[in-house]
Chain A
Amino acid sequence: DGGITQSPKYLFRKEGQNVTLSCEQNLNHDAMYWYRQDPGQGLRLIYYSQIVNDFQKGDIAEGYSVSREKKESFPLTVTSAQKNPTAFYLCASSTLRQGGSGNQPQHFGDGTRLSIL
């Protein structure tokens, strides 16, 4: 079945440590996204990528980094510069509407919950 796989489901980070969250999709979608979800704040966009080897900062990119070396994969690294990393992280993907304006609906993974030790 096609879908988005996020791993691990739970992740713990020590102070000063970088951790990487995995996101893989087999939907052949061009665009991929990372969101952070905190209680009562909805989803906030961290980074997104519309094509391999290119990505853009979202609303809260500080303390995070991404790469897009393959169409199927969009890993997110939470660096030690992110002072409050405890959150639920969601990865999504979508096709792009023809003509480049607007997006088709996004498909979501089941998320990774990151906590600080």
Chain B
Amino acid sequence: AQSVTQPDIHITVSEGASLELRCNYSYGATPYLFWYVQSPGQGLQLLLKYFSGDTLVQGIKGFEAEFKRSQSSFNLRKPSVHWSDAAEYFCAVDFMDTGRRALTFGSGTRLQVQP
């Protein structure tokens, strides 16, 4: 069955440090991939997406993600974290050929930024 896994429930980094949030999926083909960010009590905002082509995609707020087919992964990265990046981050996958015309979300990773 198709699934999305975010192995890290909670991550703490220092301001200015680099960040990598992990996302793995289970699927027999290449899906469409998304990363969203959610501030407390708010909706989700799209950071970036991958449909095809270059496996390194750039997003908003200085984030990037790399699709690795061999590892079924789509990890989110940022070279230098700012205090305003503290939020919850969700990986989402569109398993296009299953008849489920909606995204499947991971359980999220909560990012805390230390001064």
Contact = CB atoms under 8 A, between A and B. Distances in A.
A35 B102 CA distance: 11
Interface residues of B, number: 26
Interface string B54-92: 000000000000000000000000000000000000101
Contacts of A40: 9, 107-108
B41 A111 contact: yes
Interface in A86-111: 90, 92, 96, 101-103, 105-111
B90 A42 contact: yes
Contacts of A31: 101
Interface residues of A, number: 28
A64 interface: no
A92 B46 CA distance: 12
Contacts of B36: 108
